[in-house]
Structure 1
Amino acid sequence: MELDPKTRRWTLSRLPPGTEILAVEELRGGWSSLVRGLHTSDGDYVLRSMTRPELAERAHDMLTRETLVLRMLESAGFPAPRTLGTDLSGDQCGWPSLLMTRLPGRVEIGDDGAAGTRALALARRLAAIHRLRPPSPLPEYVPWAWPGEIKYPGHTVHAELWRRAEDLITRNPPRYPGRFLHRDFHPGNVLFDDTGALTGVIDWTESSYGPADLDVAHCATMLALLHGDALSDAFVDAYRAAGGQLATDRATHLYWRLLDALSFAPDAPNAGEAWRGLGRHDLTPDVLARALERHLGYLIRTFG
């Protein structure tokens, strides 16, 4: 893989003088952008480019927000990439782009004996994120599921389950104490090293202000799809044990869990596409559709 000449010139202008780009690779696992790893004579870097047409109108805001948050995290000593330059217009790189340092580690989503240990590490790190206080105000969270627009899977024989889940989020959102949210925190945006230690958190483009329950719900949904409901709930329990504060009443907890889970309807294609690219070929759209439906039923039976 190569950078086009214009992108290469812009990138090198943001790196120390004399730096040479030795190799370029596409980093798998992302959905919203093209993420390229740059191996250079000065070290390793990452170039994120917002290439999806449906995100074109939001690309400027997403990269501006990520740059702001990465600078805040750097000043707080939090393990996250360090920003080196942005091409918000895309004039230099072809698409709106952000150049940043590359953290050690890799995404781990295998359905193996270490998944439970990783879930505990995720919970502790998310609780630490929610204790951060950004120096500048962030936009309020935006829900990713809207009553009346939920797409039920066409083959389902449990349409009543979907209607019940949608009914339970058809009300005004519960009141909540606001927190700094990653907003897209899940195993695909967290890195681990060879020892199993968590080395950093990436992809801060959706950072916002809102209920901690929603960040927890998003990761819990992802874990349910990847590993099942038991590990999903173990993550939630570990978040509380790490000092994280969640809604205490079951109806409010269920609201946030369903609001996130329904955003994956009908077959979780976004997550599935990235996960299959990381080797989880077992997670086909049909498998994920069934897993999501099972998860909805589990949530309603447990908290409804």
Structure 2
Amino acid sequence: MRYTPAVAGWLHEQLGEAITQGRALPGATTAEVTTFESRDRGYVLKLFNQVFFVEEEPDRAIHEATVLDVLGGADLPTPRLVAFDGDGSQCGVPAVLMTRLPGERGVGIQHAAEIVELAARLHGVSPEVPAAIRWGFQRYNQGLEVRPPRWATDVKLWTDVLGVVASDPPMDGWGLIHRDYNSTNFLSSGDRVTGLVDWLSGCRGPFGIDAARLRLDLAIDGESEVASAVTEAFSRSEHDVIDPFWDLVDAVDLLPFYRGFEAVDGWGDPVRRARLEGFIREAVNRLM
């Protein structure tokens, strides 16, 4: 991908070298993400050029840059912030430049214990770190109307779940969270986890939502063995933050919602629907 003159000029200003193009990285949904080398070091450039997401959260670049900056001194495998253009005044769109970590996206059964240990380190950072981050936990469909999905096979189950998540949440176990702690945001090489990326949702929030997001993501994608290994690793650790309440909150976050009179539903696959219902049924059983 060839960078615009504005982006190339900004990169030259930051790195002191002419960078005119980068290689697109797969998997990004809310930004254009590319990588390149400069003076034998790898970098990742994130350009927030998706109009819908920028309108929803204009400070997305500032958000991720702030989180990366405060994590710079933490014992976590995170990218290091190099520079950012918070309002897009220099690049044409908001941008974040960071170092590139080794490894490929995704994790397996062999990574379960390390994933849980990494969660414990993240959630256990000094209180000064989350205090420096002004963003707090919000539900993805907060303020929007949510109903049992039209494709529900057990409407009563969904109605009960919506009642549970509307109740007061547990207030123990809060601090710094990744918020999108899913398998595609981990980098791994062999048996080792080498990185945790995509920090644009990092915030102060409940630890249980990170455990929920990872296990739900794996379950929906059909990685039931990995999900079970992660659940078992949490249960064996001193950082067992799995909570059926937050499991249900995270599941409801993925429901169809209503923006005005328009229904927004990304659940066309009946197999994934069944996996989602299976996840919430198991959480409800543990809650009872």
What's the TM-score, normalizing by structure 2? 0.85
Structure 2 counterpart of 1:183: 179
Structure 1 counterpart of 2:41: 43
Q: Is the 8 A contact 1:182 1:215 kept in 2?
A: yes
User: Matched residues in 2 for 1:233 and 1:29: separation?
Assistant: 24
What RMSD in Å do the two structures reach over aligned CA positions? 2.6
Structure 2 counterpart of 1:292: 276
Q: Which amino acid aligns with 1:254?
A: P
Q: Report the CA distance between 1:302 and its aligned residue.
A: 3.6
**Closer, same or farther: CA 153–79 of 1 in aligned 2, 3 Å:** same
Find out whether 1:303 has 2:287 as its counterpart.
yes
Q: Is the 8 A contact 2:76 2:118 kept in 1?
A: no
Q: Is the 8 A contact 1:105 1:199 kept in 2?
A: yes
Q: Which amino acid aligns with 1:204?
A: W
Structure 2 counterpart of 1:74: 72
**Closer, same or farther: CA 213–79 of 1 in aligned 2, 3 Å:** same
**Closer, same or farther: CA 13–146 of 1 in aligned 2, 3 Å:** closer
User: Matched residues in 2 for 1:220 and 1:39: separation?
Assistant: 34
User: Matched residues in 1 for 2:40 and 2:93: separation?
Assistant: 25
**Closer, same or farther: CA 41–137 of 1 in aligned 2, 3 Å:** closer
Alignment of 1:238-277 (within 5 A): 238-246=233-241, 253-266=243-256
Find out whether 1:217 has 2:212 as its counterpart.
yes
CA deviation vs aligned residue, 1:163-206 (integer Å, no higher than 9, x gap): 1211221212222232211111111111012x231111111111
Q: Report the CA distance between 1:46 and its aligned residue.
A: 0.7
**Closer, same or farther: CA 14–151 of 1 in aligned 2, 3 Å:** farther
Q: Is the 8 A contact 1:23 1:40 kept in 2?
A: no
CA deviation vs aligned residue, 1:103-137 (integer Å, no higher than 9, x gap): 1111026xxxxx21123322221111111124443
Q: Which amino acid aligns with 1:62?
A: R
Q: Report the CA distance between 1:229 and its aligned residue.
A: 5.0
Structure 1 counterpart of 2:263: none
Which ranges in structure 2 are unaligned for 5 or more consecutive residues? 258-265
Structure 2 counterpart of 1:32: 30
**Closer, same or farther: CA 22–241 of 1 in aligned 2, 3 Å:** farther
Q: Which amino acid aligns with 1:98?
A: V
Q: Is the 8 A contact 1:23 1:39 kept in 2?
A: no
Q: Report the CA distance between 1:92 and its aligned residue.
A: 2.3
Structure 2 counterpart of 1:99: 97
Structure 1 counterpart of 2:262: none
Identity among equivalent pairs (%)? 25
Q: Is the 8 A contact 1:73 1:79 kept in 2?
A: no
Q: Report the CA distance between 1:65 and its aligned residue.
A: 2.9
Find out whether 1:169 has 2:165 as its counterpart.
yes
SS in structure 1 of the partner of residue 175 of structure 2? strand
- When structure 1 is superposed on structure 2, of 99-108 and 59-68 the one drifting more is 59-68
Q: Which amino acid aligns with 1:224?
A: A
Count, aligned residues: 277
Structure 2 counterpart of 1:124: 117
SS in structure 2 of the partner of residue 206 of structure 1? coil
Which ranges in structure 1 are unaligned for 5 or more consecutive residues? 110-114, 248-252, 268-272, 274-282
